[in-house]
Structure 1
Amino acid sequence: MSPASRAPAPAPETTFPKPTPRTVLQAVLGLGLAMAIIAFGLPYFADTTWAKIGTHLGSVGPASALELFGWMVLGLWCYTFTLTGSLPGLSHSKALMMNVSGSAVGNMLPGGGAAGVAVTYLFGRSWGFSRMAISTSIIVSGVWNVLARVALPLLGIVVLARDQTALPKSVRQGAFAAGVTALVVLAVFIAMVISDERARQLGGLLDRRVGHLLARLRRGPKKGQRLDLATVLQNQRSRLASVTAHGWFPMTFGVVGFLGIYFVLFWRTMEAVGVEIPLPKLFAAYAIGRLLTAVGVTPGGLGITEAGTLSVLVAWGAPPAPAAAGVLIFALYTHVFEVPLGLLGWLGWSLSPKVPPPD
């Protein structure tokens, strides 16, 4: 029986762990570094000034801003298919709350993926999902995300193959590294599904990375105790295979749709500030930027992503000041604006009916 079909009952207390001084310090340092890279790096890499960048920032009118916001929301909604496909019984509205809330938390911390996992666990448990179902969703959707993001530079290479301009060495190297990463992730996932020992090893890795966060989310006498994710993965290999077999299409649709719509958002942003370069090059720059979001030095790769994308755009002939304005506006929609949306997601979750989990 799915969680949605059970009658609501009084919910146990569910709260997110309070931030520790170390967490606050990491957030402050990470965001400070990101702001420094943006403040000094964008004019440097584009060989321009903030006065010129500001001129193009002001060229985006209300109609364009509203259109860009619409593309952002559509992309976020599209990703709900990945979450509902990986967690059967989850509605799209709840998936949207989970997605924007996890992104908001992750966007505030360097390497915020672990915090996003904690949000997924907290929300899922409060809606009545079992630990095994949630951990399966986290693993499968995570694999789908990694495969999609590292595949983007390879797709960019294919698209650019139709262009006569030689590819920069850094792009070729990045695409090669992404291809190797994709093969490694896929091999690990397949080995984990078919091998009990590989599942145990991956569970041990996850336990070291996020086990402490999940332990702090537990309630009652087990609060603070580790979940032993190695044992959890060993016990749910068949479930991983089942979710993958039945959910691969909606998960793929969600990830591809999300990244595709965000490319439209990137393209329309560049048009709004007056950047006109061939579409293949624009897509390749976008692909490199999406790959750089995985850099955990700053929250969500903020600053590093924009500097890298801007460098590629300028190298391929984009006018410096408009390109800098474009990557900055794109960052606002894909990173900054997700924070207030995340607050709305937290509000929606706090008002949603809670269901006691089965375990």
Structure 2
Amino acid sequence: MRTAGRTRRTITSVLTGTFTVALVALLPRAVGTSWVTVGALLGRLSLPAIAVLALVWIAGLWAHSFVLAASLPGLTKRRGLTLSLTGSAVANVLPLGGAAGTGLNFAMTRRWGFSSTAFGGFLAVTTLVNVVAKLGVVAVALALAPIAHTAIALPVGRTGLLLVPVLAALVAVVWFLAGANSATAAGRGLDRVAGVIRKRPELERSLPALRESVLRVVRGGWLSMTAGMVAYLLLQLALLGLCFQLLGTSLSPPVLITGLAIERLLTLIPITPGGVGVVEVGTVAALVALGGEPTAVTAGMMLFRGFTYLLEIPVGGVTLALWLLVNRKRAVAA
């Protein structure tokens, strides 16, 4: 059984990796440019320009740490930033790595003294806030479409089709949070499904408690969550705009918002780790359709994803290594 599972994971990793590399390799050709011209444009960036982008990127992560700290009462913003970086590093490397990143974050919070129930509430709240934030950006972009004539890049019909499963999940969450009876009914239904795998599932009893935990956290921290998430999204928008501006091209605010909305929307599709390949191809194609110069748009998007996806891997890896080293020293001292 273990061998079969290992073989299945290996095949999945190879197929996902091949698909990702193919998407990224074909990206410039799909919009009428080449990696040679894109690389030449990226090579003109100065170190001060890269430093400015890095500061905006770090500021965005720090703003997001307010969301994480408010979602788990007692968590400091420094530890929230640690959870964000380490979880993203794992999720960005492994196929369907979100589960592995969540497992790592669970181990870290347990090490800091938080209960599994508290982490369950934290996971539910942060997932809900992140999805609502992404949908909010998409909603703003759709609202601006008739004025800015960006509907060609974010058509309502296709966008609605992509959002159907996400909106269905949000409706289920709202129903779950609506009352204790809803949580009990959800737990009872899930127990019947989970009973095929586990002999004694207890979701009927635990989900109402999780609901109370989530509502308590939201009531106490909604202001910090909202402010932190809005600041994070504005800094992401600023980072995207700076990536294009420093490469010699500028896009109007409505077009930038549309580009960010498409990027946020495509990250909801977990085909590849962190949506790499899918996000770049979809966003670049949309921005070129809105009049962006192919080489500049491709280079700017690769630069943006270099910070929001690629850089998180080594930075998160180093953060995880330091965390493990500190905890090992404490264990030895104890």
Q: TM-score range by the shorter chain?
A: 0.7 to 0.9
Equivalent-residue separation in structure 2 for 1:300 and 1:225 (angstroms): 35
For 1:240, the equivalent position in structure 2 comes to 214
In structure 2, do the counterparts of structure 1 residues 348 and 247 end up closer, same or farther at CA, with 3 Å as the change threshold?
A: farther
Q: State the percentage of identical aligned residues.
A: 30
For 1:349, the equivalent position in structure 2 comes to 323
Q: Give the deviation of 1:57 after TM superposition.
A: 1.4
Q: Give the deviation of 1:226 after TM superposition.
A: 9.1
**2:147 counterpart SS class:** coil
Structure 2 counterparts to residues 64-213 of structure 1, below 5 A: 64-163=49-148, 165=149, 167-168=151-152, 170-177=154-161, 184-196=168-180, 198-200=182-184
Equivalent-residue separation in structure 2 for 1:54 and 1:207 (angstroms): 55
Q: Give the deviation of 1:232 after TM superposition.
A: 2.5
What root-mean-square deviation, in Å, do the aligned CA atoms of Structure 1 and Structure 2 show?
3.0
For 1:53, the equivalent position in structure 2 comes to 38
For 1:310, the equivalent position in structure 2 comes to 284
Q: Give the deviation of 1:182 after TM superposition.
A: 6.4
Contact 2:251 2:292 in 1 (8 A): yes
Contact 1:98 1:345 in 2 (8 A): no
**2:155 counterpart SS class:** helix
For 1:32, the equivalent position in structure 2 comes to 18
For 1:334, the equivalent position in structure 2 comes to 308
- Answer with 231-240 or 328-337: which moved more: 231-240
**2:172 counterpart SS class:** helix
- Answer with 112-121 or 299-308: which moved more: 112-121
Equivalent-residue separation in structure 2 for 1:249 and 1:181 (angstroms): 28
In structure 2, do the counterparts of structure 1 residues 26 and 342 end up closer, same or farther at CA, with 3 Å as the change threshold?
A: farther
Amino acid at match of 1:58: G
Amino acid at match of 2:304: F
Extract unaligned runs of 5+ from structure 1: 1-18, 213-223
Equivalent-residue separation in structure 1 for 2:11 and 2:166 (angstroms): 33
- Pick from 256, 274, 282 the counterpart of residue 230 of structure 2: 256
Contact 1:147 1:182 in 2 (8 A): no
- Pick from 264, 268, 276 the counterpart of residue 294 of structure 1: 268
> What TM-score, normalized to structure 1?
0.80
- Pick from 266, 271, 287 the counterpart of residue 245 of structure 2: 271
Extract unaligned runs of 5+ from structure 2: none
Amino acid at match of 1:187: V
Amino acid at match of 2:72: L
Equivalent-residue separation in structure 2 for 1:161 and 1:262 (angstroms): 24
- Answer with 173-182 or 117-126: which moved more: 173-182
More helix by share: 2
Amino acid at match of 2:216: S
Contact 2:120 2:210 in 1 (8 A): no
Q: Give the deviation of 1:161 after TM superposition.
A: 3.6
Contact 1:151 1:178 in 2 (8 A): no
Stretches of 4+ aligned residues off by more than 6 angstroms: 204-209, 224-227
**2:273 counterpart SS class:** coil
In structure 2, do the counterparts of structure 1 residues 330 and 206 end up closer, same or farther at CA, with 3 Å as the change threshold?
A: farther
Contact 2:191 2:202 in 1 (8 A): no
In structure 2, do the counterparts of structure 1 residues 88 and 206 end up closer, same or farther at CA, with 3 Å as the change threshold?
A: farther
Equivalent-residue separation in structure 2 for 1:258 and 1:201 (angstroms): 36
Contact 2:154 2:258 in 1 (8 A): no
